[in-house]
Structure 1
């Protein structure tokens, strides 16, 4: 499990606190036999890759590994699995209260992301690393920051959406997993 984890250039990816070099360890810690290690890893991932509703470059890269962990055998308890499903929901849409209806504005997001694609390309092809993302972002005006945010959100939303078959299967499990999976699926 997590075979491709070291193939991701985490040092070039940013999260809420800089370069995402700690994310692989946090993902591996989700498979620890120690409950405290898993608890800390879930908490750290929640703060790093979806900090206060913001998504980062590392967020979309972490999602397939979270899905792989949920899909495979692991020492995760049912409540830890619920928390990972909730984390995927937070990654996919952020705070549901931001939306006036029960519908995620995917078409609007795609348009905003298309308008911001050149900004992400400038960052990703430039001499930047994961620690530079906040500096790059702060040099942009507010509309461009929002466009860049749309690129990140769309990437993450699509990564979570790729896990839809798994989330649908999880609805056939215990009631807490069913509720968490159904809550996330409604936005996908």
Structure 2
């Protein structure tokens, strides 16, 4: 194991935080029987050697040893190692090359070209890992078939084989995505993949999620071939998908150590909380639907039709992600967004405070066109004050508090005279602490 590891002058290379001399110890720690030690090593590798997706010379130099770990059944967390290999390769492709294939120069120098070249030399190993007995290893390896295996026929054959063998939604979504990645990377694979995806999208025996994935990934591969029937078909499959995937309550955010906020402006604290929320994905089909919206591009009316169906989902997490996507569309593309705006407004009445808060936040961010939502926002804030009292702005329940605050801010953005009712509860001469932003945006 690790022949030649110590023949490399790691100390002469640098990662995000200086000398890379620690890399051998990190690689050995990934084989440790102690789960805590493995987790610490993997976290350090991502934090320093693969910092925020960066690919440095020591990142590329460690790839042969990561492959050894991935191939060794004695490695405890092989799936995590395979996922790391794929991440390094994907980031190398995304960051290291221009659209014409020319290498991008970064400072400090990075190993993108070396990493991609090495991973493509070893691309056939992803075909073996995609057949591994461990389902987590298979799931992690599948993207490598699209990214690194240069034998188009073999890669397509393995992907077809795996789609038949795998039943899980996550696996099938990755297999179809890898097929599209293969088609976009290798022109020789494009036609066979497009035909395969068309067949999958039309196969009623496959199930609505996989059929929707095939339809979306085909649109990704050929946006110029998106016909008038594509969006209606997607809407129908979305409707079927809503019944195929059981609705679940939105999972609470993972607990994190409390961060001292003394002396920190409330707007800064809120900004970091907002960033944390927006890194979460709440539904298994969200990434797929984002791909579809990207493929549709400027087709605003068709994207609105898709979002309308997303917003009707019985699953609150799917609706929450759809509310965010709706805000992105309205802020990015010009057009008549009244229908979409009202669909987002309807989410204010949901029983799920997190969805209602997100809807209010979108209405606030889209305030130049949000006038049709004025009465609904006022009704929402009035209902909350009636149910929870005049001090609901500072309610101890975090979701209720955010839902109310976002709605009041949205009203304030519209210059509505009803907004100050929450800003200055009865018996108070001035706004409560932390309301500076709302007071500033309200012209009343």
Please give the TM-score of this superposition, normalised by the length of structure 1: 0.68
* TM-fit CA distance, 1:179: 1.8
Q: Tell me: CA distance 1:145–1:170, structure 2 relative to 1, closer, same or farther (3 Å).
A: closer
Task: Answer yes or no: is 1:108 the counterpart of 2:105.
Answer: no
Structure 1 Cα separation of the partners of residues 74 and 56 of structure 2 = 26
Q: What corresponds to 1:145 in structure 2?
A: 106
Contact 1:54 1:94 in 2 (8 A): yes
Q: What corresponds to 2:142 in structure 1?
A: 182
* TM-fit CA distance, 1:43: 1.3
Structure 2 Cα separation of the partners of residues 95 and 21 of structure 1 = 22
* TM-fit CA distance, 1:23: 0.4
- Equivalent residues in 2 for 1:5-20 (5 A)? 5-20=5-20
* TM-fit CA distance, 1:148: 4.5
Q: Tell me: CA distance 1:106–1:72, structure 2 relative to 1, closer, same or farther (3 Å).
A: farther
Task: Answer yes or no: is 1:164 the counterpart of 2:123.
Answer: yes
Task: Answer yes or no: is 1:87 the counterpart of 2:84.
Answer: yes
* TM-fit CA distance, 1:159: 2.2
Moved more, 156-165 or 168-177: 156-165
Per chain length, whose mean CA-contact separation is higher, i.e. which structure has more relative contact order (CA < 8 Å, sep 6+)? Answer: 1
Look up the SS of the partner of 1:112 in the other structure.
coil
**CA deviations over 1:102-159 (Å, ceiling 9, x no partner):** xx968834x326xxxxxxxxxxxxxxxxxxxxxxxxxxxxxx537955xx21111122
* TM-fit CA distance, 1:166: 2.1
Q: What corresponds to 1:135 in structure 2?
A: none
- Give the root-mean-square deviation of aligned CA atoms: 2.7
Look up the SS of the partner of 2:80 in the other structure.
helix
Structure 1 Cα separation of the partners of residues 108 and 138 of structure 2 = 34
Q: What corresponds to 2:72 in structure 1?
A: 72
Contact 1:171 1:179 in 2 (8 A): yes
* TM-fit CA distance, 1:61: 0.5
* TM-fit CA distance, 1:160: 2.3
Structure 2 Cα separation of the partners of residues 172 and 65 of structure 1 = 21
Task: Answer yes or no: is 1:52 the counterpart of 2:64.
Answer: no
- Equivalent residues in 2 for 1:111-122 (5 A)? 111-112=102-103
Look up the SS of the partner of 2:147 in the other structure.
coil
Structure 1 Cα separation of the partners of residues 113 and 144 of structure 2 = 16
Q: Tell me: CA distance 1:162–1:13, structure 2 relative to 1, closer, same or farther (3 Å).
A: same
Contact 2:69 2:78 in 1 (8 A): no
Structure 2 Cα separation of the partners of residues 75 and 69 of structure 1 = 6
Structure 2 Cα separation of the partners of residues 168 and 34 of structure 1 = 29
**CA deviations over 1:35-81 (Å, ceiling 9, x no partner):** 111111111112222111211110111000000111124241xxx22
* TM-fit CA distance, 1:95: 8.7
Q: What corresponds to 2:35 in structure 1?
A: 35
Contact 1:16 1:49 in 2 (8 A): yes
Structure 2 Cα separation of the partners of residues 170 and 47 of structure 1 = 26
